Structure 1
Amino acid sequence: MAGKLTTIGFDADDTLWHNERFFRMTQDRFAELLADFTEKSHLEERLLEAEKRNLGHYGFGVKGFVLSMIETAIEVTEERVPASVISALIAEGRDMLNHPIDLLPHAAETVGFCAENYRVLLITKGDLLDQERKLAQSGLGDMFDGVEIVSDKNRPVYEEIFARQGSGSNEGMMIGNSMKSDVLPMVEAGGWGLYVPHGLTWELEKADPPKEAEKFRQIDSLKEVTTIIEGIGVS
């Protein structure tokens, strides 16, 4: 039986503002820089392997991505990668860290609506400084009752956050574009998982939906959050 809803968590990247498209643009630039050494498809495979291998060392975010590109460049060129390419990759990463925030449609009004009746949290993973910068530039910061920047998202993390910041994960909802990080572990923790697909999704964030779960919902855009919440009932 679904309990009352008291606390709502929002993911940040590609849920409230664009993010993955900047990684894709940099990845295309990476392929251009290494075009004389390997095919783009092979380079992308090697980069994904490096990112997966390095998550435990560097975590999520731009800095780990840049380090994985540099590592991949060294590997695919058999240590012959020019210093100019390494320099260009570092510059690309710096540009990513300085890119202006571009909110997704309905982000501001949706967070605002939720904040009127619920305790609202921002729960995101990635580099601390970068995530703080993006939140500050988004103009949404004052709407959140709490901000959690975590190294990973899993069931214990959600249970701890919603117990400390709310009334427990069983009375919470997590809204995000990652089935693996935002939805599945929240549903496992006894809460609502609301999936909002984004046009671009990192391969390591993909997973099958929990179709039989009572507290799983999927919507097309943030505009539909209001309808879903009203269907659940106010706290």
Structure 2
Amino acid sequence: MLAPGALTTIGFDADDTLWQNEQFFRSSERHFADLLAPYADVPDLSGRLLAVEKRNLDLYGFGIKGFTLSLVETAVEVTEGRVPASIIADILAAGREMLRHPVETLPHVTQTLEALSDAYRLVLITKGDLFDQERKLAQSGLGDFFDAVEIVSNKDKATYETIFRRHGDGAERAMMIGNSLKSDVVPALEAGSWGVFVPHELTWVLEHVDAPVEEPRFRQINHLGELLPLLGDLA
């Protein structure tokens, strides 16, 4: 019989927790600004793009395809419809390049997953485009470490309650690890899980919230190499 509160299941975010992601969005945004420079003088182009992305989230969801569509819409908006078709083609080409970019796993990921895979049920919990997330997982070579993979449209309390009930012994015996306080940590804590924040130097502004430092099940580590010692302290 399990001891009260014993941890049996660990969930991992994917983008910018297991592999690089946001840096490719930032690079594409800089390229976008260069493409538009001859056609529009927009002091806060990033702010205009962010407003369009926020407006489109409910329609397109998270991921590269929605981002690319938001780039096109922003280009049309800020140029008042004058953007040439050639620039639209360049934006679409940049989106395709993002979808083809090789996966770059982050430090300590493979060793940590290998060490944990025999002792815990490991679940990959990621949001975004289904095809793209499946592609990245396949290219990463990490798929065999996971007992289950959940690609979801959103991450909230109900998401974690459902997933940790389906693939584990309930949220109370689970831990969620990720680089987003808003998506990975706070809703997992609300569900009753442990929540471990692993900051990444680049995190999308819409994922920023205050750290829940008063929550007894909240922890923060600098990188995944510190996860095994943390689990040892909690045992």
Specify the TM-score bucket, using the shorter chain as the normaliser: over 0.9
2:190 is equivalent to residue 179 of structure 1: no
Shift of residue 42, structure 1, vs aligned partner: 1.2
SS state at 1:117 partner: coil
Q: Report the equivalent of 1:33.
A: 35
Alpha-carbon displacement from aligned partner over 1:29-69 (angstroms, at most 9, x marks no partner): 00001112445651100100011110100000000000000
Alpha-carbon displacement from aligned partner over 1:75-126 (angstroms, at most 9, x marks no partner): 0000111101100000000000000011100010111112121000000000
SS state at 2:118 partner: helix
Q: Report the equivalent of 1:123.
A: 125
Query: 1:102 and 1:89 mapped to 2: Cα distance?
Result: 23
Shift of residue 166, structure 1, vs aligned partner: 0.5
Query: 2:40 and 2:153 mapped to 1: Cα distance?
Result: 33
Q: Report the equivalent of 1:166.
A: 168
User: Which segments of structure 1 move beyond 3 Å, counting only runs of 4 or more?
Assistant: 37-41
Check the 8 A contact 1:7/1:121 in 2, yes or no: yes
Amino acid at match of 1:114: L
Percent of residue pairs identical:
59
Check the 8 A contact 1:180/1:205 in 2, yes or no: yes
Alpha-carbon displacement from aligned partner over 1:8-47 (angstroms, at most 9, x marks no partner): 0000000000000000000000000111244565110010
Check the 8 A contact 1:5/1:232 in 2, yes or no: no
Give runs of aligned pairs for residues 131-170 of structure 1, distance below 5 A: 131-170=133-172
Aligned-residue RMSD, C-alpha: 1.0
Q: Which runs of 5+ in 1 are unaligned?
A: none
Query: 1:183 and 1:223 mapped to 2: Cα distance?
Result: 18
SS state at 2:122 partner: strand
Q: Report the equivalent of 2:56.
A: 54
Check the 8 A contact 1:31/1:40 in 2, yes or no: no
Q: Report the equivalent of 1:24.
A: 26
Check the 8 A contact 2:8/2:173 in 1, yes or no: yes
Cα distance change, pair 185–39 in 1 and its aligned pair in 2 (3 A) = farther
Query: 2:106 and 2:144 mapped to 1: Cα distance?
Result: 18
Amino acid at match of 2:36: L
Larger CA deviation: 2-11 vs 184-193 = 2-11
Query: 2:39 and 2:188 mapped to 1: Cα distance?
Result: 43
SS state at 1:193 partner: strand
SS state at 1:147 partner: strand
Q: Report the equivalent of 1:110.
A: 112
Query: 1:93 and 1:146 mapped to 2: Cα distance?
Result: 29
Query: 1:76 and 1:59 mapped to 2: Cα distance?
Result: 23
Query: 2:232 and 2:219 mapped to 1: Cα distance?
Result: 13
Q: Across the two proteins, how many residue pairs are aligned to each other?
A: 232
Query: 1:30 and 1:40 mapped to 2: Cα distance?
Result: 12
Amino acid at match of 1:196: V
Query: 2:7 and 2:42 mapped to 1: Cα distance?
Result: 46
Query: 2:119 and 2:40 mapped to 1: Cα distance?
Result: 54
**TM, length-normalised to structure 2:** 0.97
Amino acid at match of 2:158: P
